[in-house]
Amino acid sequence: MPSLEHRETTAAIDAVAEVLTQSLDALEGYATMVEKAEPQFRPIAERFRALHASHSTSLAEMVKRLGGVPDMSGSYMGKLDKAVVTLASVFGAIDQHEMKHVRSGEQSVLHAFAKAVSAGLPASEQARVLTMQGELLALLDNTRDLA
């Protein structure tokens, strides 16, 4: 039977890995969004893409530091996000009206961050997770007028 410490470490790795998966999924959608976005909305999509790219790299490194192996493939939701953005661009502009979908999609990332914060991470890693969560919340707040 695994020790309590082993189970806690596994839970922490799993929680960070879930944030990584959510961030990679968002990154895949934003990559397509940047490509298809109207010129006036492209800088916003680029900011979200850049943030998720940075977070994905940091989270993968964190999974390694915790003793796990990061899965950089994302999930089927990333492929679905990409398909939805592509389809939306066929039927209309990808512009500031997409912000309600952006905000909705970011909720799963924020939920994963919240779970990771309470997963028993070492203090230094928890601080990093809180910083990343704060960066995403700040970006959402900075773009709230576009919704």
Could you read off the pLDDT of 100-119 as tens digits, one per residue? 888 888 999 999 999 999 99
- CATH number, span 4-146: 1.20.1260.10
Angle in degrees, 0-180, between the axes of helices 99-117 and 4-36, rounded to the nearest 10: 170
The candidate with the shortest Cα–Cα distance to 14, out of 119, 133, 122, 105, is 119
Task: Give me the chain's average pLDDT, please.
Answer: 84
Listed by start position, the domains of the chain span: 4-146
List the single range of 3-7, 11-15, 38-42, 62-66 with lowest mean pLDDT: 3-7
Give me the residue label for tokens 């899965």.
71
Window from 19-28, 93-102, 109-118 with minimum mean pLDDT: 93-102
pLDDT band at residue 62 under the 50/70/90 scheme: very high
